[in-house]
Amino acid sequence: DAGVIQSPRHEVTEMGQEVTLRCKPISGHNSLFWYRQTMMRGLELLIYFNNNVPIDDSGMPEDRFSAKMPNASFSTLKIQPSEPRDSAVYFCASSTAQGNTGELFFGEGSRLTVL
């Protein structure tokens, strides 16, 4: 079975450019999460969706970041305009349950470098 699929795996862009990261969750999972990983801050939850509806976006750094989930099989995280401090690995994860025993399944991540 396919796991969580993220694209692109690597992205190098210049400051001020728009970046769009994509995620396809595992089929049948109803929760989707976007995390950011940096050396300084570790793993930070940016936003999560349940049944395509954003439940908590308090981790989104600022208005330059936006996330959408137009259907159960696709989500995007957009940064516009990008800045060097946005350089990080962005992970998408999905889950099948809201209960506290639910395991998160992570994609392989999108490594973003903003020059």
Partner 1 sequence: GNSVTQMEGPVTLSEEAFLTINCTYTATGYPSLFWYVQYPGEGLQLLLKATKADDKGSNKGFEATYRKETTSFHLEKGSVQVSDSAVYFCALRPNSGYSTLTFGKGTMLLVSP
> Which residues contact partner 1 (rule: CB under 8 A)?
4, 31, 33, 42-43, 45, 48, 50, 55-56, 91, 93, 98-109
User: Minimum Å distance from CB 103 to partner 1?
Assistant: 5
Q: Which of 15/97 has CB closer to partner 1?
A: 97
What is the rounded distance in angstroms from the CA atom of residue 36 to the CA atom of residue 102?
Answer: 20
Residue nearer to partner 1 on the CB measure, 70 or 99: 99
The alpha carbons of the chain give a radius of gyration, in whole angstroms, of 13
Distance set, CA 66 to CA 34, 62, 76 (Å): 11, 9, 8
Query: Minimum distance between the CB of residue 6 and partner 1, rounded to whole angstroms?
Result: 8
> How many Cα atoms are found within 13 Å in the side-chain-facing hemisphere of 96?
5
Cβ at position 34, least distance to partner 1 in Å: 11
